[in-house]
Amino acid sequence: MKTGIDAIAFDVAKIHLPIKTLAKTRNIDPEKLEKGLGLLKMTLPDTHQDVIVFGANALTKLIQDNKINLSKIARIYVGTESAIDNSKPISSFLIALMEQKFGENILSECDVVDFTFACIGGVDALQNCIDFVTLNPTKKAIVVTTDFAKYDLNSTGEYTQGAGALAMLITSNPRVISFENHWATSTKGVFDFFKPYRTLSKEKITGNATNQPWYENLESEIEIHKDQPVFDGQYSNQCYMDRTRDAYFSFKKIKNASETVYDSWKSIVMHLPYAFQGRRMLSEIYALDAANKIIIGNETATEYQNKLKEISKSETYKNFVSQKLQPAELASSLIGNLYTGSIFMGLLSTLAHFYDNKIEISDKKFGFLSYGSGSKSKVFEGTIQSEWKSAIAKVNLFETLEKSIEIDFETYEKLHKKEQKKSVRQPKNEWALDRIESKIPNLIGARYYKWID
């Protein structure tokens, strides 16, 4: 019996800032971002959107396009690193909205939970649901990834921002892709990228040294939430390379493979914080697992790095990238970083590319190299199924992305600073944030959403 993804749907922010506009305003050479990193557009939430909205929109599309009977769904597991509550999971919001639209109590027996491990949380949710369906072949599950990648203004991560969600139906005998039961993991506890609790002395805010109550805060320190992470880009890249390399060769051992594993993959799908991250990170694996052993392993550190740079600039490696990696990069260039959703958007981008170009990929193997800061990598593979084309026929990925509305830099900064009060684009046939309770004491902070026809 096979287990995997039977259907996919997505929702991304419908407004964007051209990377060229950001580059010129920040005095960055646009070619450095466009040709160097593969960035073209940066999507961001409108005033009525948040991660609940994106997740609910993607899930609603999945249900409607595939005529899913929700009473048959045993679990909805969410991968995210953009939680809006320290207790109530995004998944509990999603079932409430689905029941609001499709029928009261229709998901009352559905298990829900969120998975958080930076950008790999969605893969963790996927593996868990695959294991569940494998043990319970008549059951169905849904994985949702939803995130908002936000970075400080003028930071080195600013140009990689993005926002959106994907929803995937997990079943036995899937139409899109089935996964083999080979999952290799590499984990190490590091601080390459994280979102800590930040604190500020109450005295600095109030000017009062006696710790008087301030908006019901009795503590002498005020905790501050920021969507923006603390990160070290260069160190994070090295952690990405180390984890994926180690997981890849663990995968090779699990498979008991003597040949170069990536040669067996039609396409390689990686976590993409920016479009060209994968091709930059993969050169080491490409060199170490080559049949002719491009790198032996006894070079000095400097010789090793120089060899990797030489390999990454070679025509052979560029052809390899074009054949196996580029299809997954196409959507990333137009969206930005989706955190937990990036690897799955890479899969959808690859499928849409082959679908639009009428290239048959049934029975072809795809390799997946996932990564989450903190840090962990998982490497696994899947086989494209014979019904993949009919399963994604309604997705219309690139056609949808073409309809994104361009905004100017002033609007971008207002949205980033939460100074924009009106939506840039009025919601239609989608979910929207209705209000956040601010008066009823036992509901303060509760978020309410509504469907806009």
Tell whether 420 is covered by a domain. yes
| Per-state percent for the chain, helix, strand, coil, to nearest 5 | 40, 25, 40
Residue pair 383/178 in contact by the 8 Å Cβ criterion: yes
Residue pair 28/421 in contact by the 8 Å Cβ criterion: no
Mark whether 101 and 39 lie in a shared domain: yes
Mark whether 238 and 359 lie in a shared domain: yes
Mark whether 378 and 448 lie in a shared domain: yes
Mark whether 97 and 183 lie in a shared domain: yes
Residue pair 230/195 in contact by the 8 Å Cβ criterion: yes
Mark whether 127 and 214 lie in a shared domain: no
Helix, strand counts (H, E) of the chain: 16, 19
Beta strand extents in 44-160 (DSSP E only): 73-79, 111-115, 140-149
Separation CA 12–CA 54 (nearest Å): 7
Q: Which two tokens stand for residue 378?
A: 């998982």
Separation CA 268–CA 266 (nearest Å): 7
Mark whether 267 and 390 lie in a shared domain: yes
What residues contact 120, with CB distance under 8 A and at least 6 apart? 79, 271, 340, 370, 371, 372, 376, 377, 378
Mark whether 61 and 93 lie in a shared domain: yes
Q: Which amino acid is at 247?
A: A
Choose between 230 and 307: higher pLDDT.
230
Mark whether 154 and 206 lie in a shared domain: no
Tell whether 290 is covered by a domain. no
Mark whether 121 and 198 lie in a shared domain: no
Confidence of residue 396 (pLDDT cuts 50, 70, 90): very high
pLDDT at 360 (0 to 100): 98
pLDDT at 30 (0 to 100): 97
Packed helices 326-335 and 315-324: angle between N→C axes, nearest 10 degrees:
70
Residue pair 395/352 in contact by the 8 Å Cβ criterion: yes
pLDDT at 297 (0 to 100): 63
pLDDT digits (tens, 9 = 90+) for 422-433: 999 999 999 999
Tell whether 298 is covered by a domain. no
Tell whether 318 is covered by a domain. no
Phi-psi label, residue 358: left if phi above 0, alpha if psi -120 to 50, beta otherwise:
left
Confidence of residue 290 (pLDDT cuts 50, 70, 90): confident
Q: Which two tokens stand for residue 327?
A: 């299809």
Mark whether 126 and 157 lie in a shared domain: yes
What residues contact 6, with CB distance under 8 A and at least 6 apart? 66, 140, 169, 170, 171, 174, 175, 176, 391
Q: What is the CATH number of the domain that holds 113?
A: 3.40.47.10
Tell whether 303 is covered by a domain. no
| E strand or H helix at 8 | strand 3-12
Quick one: DSSP state of residue 217? B
Mark whether 105 and 237 lie in a shared domain: yes
Separation CA 349–CA 345 (nearest Å): 6
Show the domain range for 118: 3-192+232-282+325-452
Tell whether 82 is covered by a domain. yes
In this prediction, residues 334-356 reach a mean pLDDT of: 98
Mark whether 124 and 208 lie in a shared domain: no
In this prediction, residues 347-376 reach a mean pLDDT of: 98
Tell whether 412 is covered by a domain. yes
Separation CA 168–CA 233 (nearest Å): 30
pLDDT at 292 (0 to 100): 65
Residue pair 175/383 in contact by the 8 Å Cβ criterion: no
The count of domains in the chain is 2
Q: How many CB atoms lie within 10 A of CB 145?
A: 34
Tell whether 307 is covered by a domain. no
Identify the domain boundary among 178, 205, 224: 224
pLDDT digits (tens, 9 = 90+) for 7-44: 999 999 999 999 999 999 999 999 999 999 999 999 99
Q: Annotate 339-354 with b (16+ C-beta within 10 A) or e (fewer).
A: bbbbbbbbbbbbbbbb
For the chain, the straight-line distance linking the first and the last C-alpha, in angstroms and rounded, comes to: 41
